[in-house]
Amino acid sequence: MLRNVRCEMRTLCYVVQTLKMSSPYFMQSSAVLTRSSSHGAGGGPAASLRSKLSSRQGAVDAVPARQVKVEAVEATVSEEKPSLTPSSSDGCQERLRPVAEIEASSLLPRGRRRRQVKVEYDGDDGASRVKAKHWEPPNWTKQLGFIREMRSRRDAPVDNMGAEKCYDTQAPAHVRRFQVLVSLMLSSQTKDQVTGAAMQRLRAHGCTAENIVATDDKKLGELIYPVGFWRNKVKFLKLTSAMLVTEFGGDIPNSVEGLVRLPGVGPKMAHLAMDIAWDQVSGIGVDTHVHRISNRLGWLKKPTKNPEDTRKALEEWLPRELWSEINWLLVGFGQQVCLPVSPLCSVCLNQHSCPSAHKCSPAKRPKPGSPRSPGPSRKFKVESEQEDDARSKSAANQTPPD
């Protein structure tokens, strides 16, 4: 790099010396020598004076042109090597100015133009940003339509013994809301038939927050048995009822945050309670049926391992107006057709679009008249003996309270 700088400086010095040789100043020196010689030859003082004045006038007129030429040469060298370097081997120290200090218009030829640089700025509102493409599963609308068709009779257990059917319609509003919450707490890991029977016994006993608090644990266990994990649910019912009496006057909270504070109440129960009791859609109630079927149909961007992750994944793409409907649709569909073990893919209308079809299905179609046969007119009156996991069976086999 130092060798290149020296070569450039030598070239610059040569150009400067050439300009000096051709400049009026050099000519002036020649004129002085000529004048001296001519004076010695007999030239008059007037001629010498005229020669001197004309030489000075020519030098004054030529100075701006020389300066412009020198500046142009310096600017050309500066563009090639913008660093500051000492010049010249003849003893004169000269600094090359950076390109930014030189007037661009005075250096570039007329035919040459600088390339225009287009500067773009992102808006503060993010309008210039490209929005990510909205993901949704393929054929989900068609699959949902088939599920609606298969659920059109509404004869699944959830349709007759779900949380929407377990409360007393003649009770005051706050008592109805409390009974909805109790039925949701009892339904966890329990068949709807067992939950419905337990709620009938509680309503006959008096299913209010104040009455549950006044009931002893033994009696309350006898009323709700054989729901899954009935001993734990006795404790949760007593604690929750006490909190509701103390903080809400026997009513239930009207927010998801308030509901999940209650002992034994999770996100699924909270969202369903907001929908059924308060008629507010706050989220999708995802139980084991919704979790299983959503993964089987490929309705999730990636497979999930628990119902809460399934809820978040569904809410990312499913239209909000379907959040309330999707729970009872998939729960009934899971109770009748898309069973936990050996689903009836051969009678499902989605068997040609479901990525999980026939992977866990029975080898043969159920015989007509069998408990699992839907019948020729798509009467899906199929009850699964294995629709819940093994914990439901173990809970049912627990010893009843003394």
Domain 140-153+286-347: which topology? Endonuclease Iii, domain 2 (1.10.1670)
> Tens-of-pLDDT digits for all 402 residues of the chain?
666 666 677 777 777 666 656 555 555 544 444 444 444 444 455 555 455 545 555 544 544 444 544 454 455 545 444 444 444 444 444 444 444 444 444 444 555 555 554 444 444 444 444 455 789 999 999 999 999 999 999 999 999 999 999 999 999 999 999 999 999 999 999 999 999 999 999 999 999 999 999 999 999 999 999 999 999 999 999 999 999 999 999 999 999 999 999 999 999 999 999 999 999 999 999 999 999 999 999 999 999 999 999 999 999 999 999 999 999 999 999 999 999 999 999 999 999 999 999 886 545 555 555 444 444 444 444 444 444 445 555 554 555 555
Which residue in 52, 133, 268, 312 is the catalytic one?
268
**Alpha-carbon gap, residue 110 to 112, rounded angstroms:** 6
Provide the 3-class DSSP secondary structure of residue 142.
helix
- To the question of pTM greater than 0.85 for the whole model, the response is no
CATH number belonging to domain 166-278: 1.10.340.30
The DSSP output letter for 167 is S
- Give one DSSP letter per residue of 222-244, joined into a string: HHHTTSTTHHHHHHHHHHHHHHH
Find out whether 233 and 184 touch, Cβ atoms under 8 Å. no
The one-letter amino acid code at 294 reads S
Token output for 145: 């339509």
Question: How far does Cα 168 stand from its chain's mean position?
Answer: 43
* Residue 142 CB partners (closer than 8 Å, separation 6+): 353
Q: 268 an active-site residue? A: yes
Domain coordinates in residue numbering, the chain: 140-153+286-347, 166-278
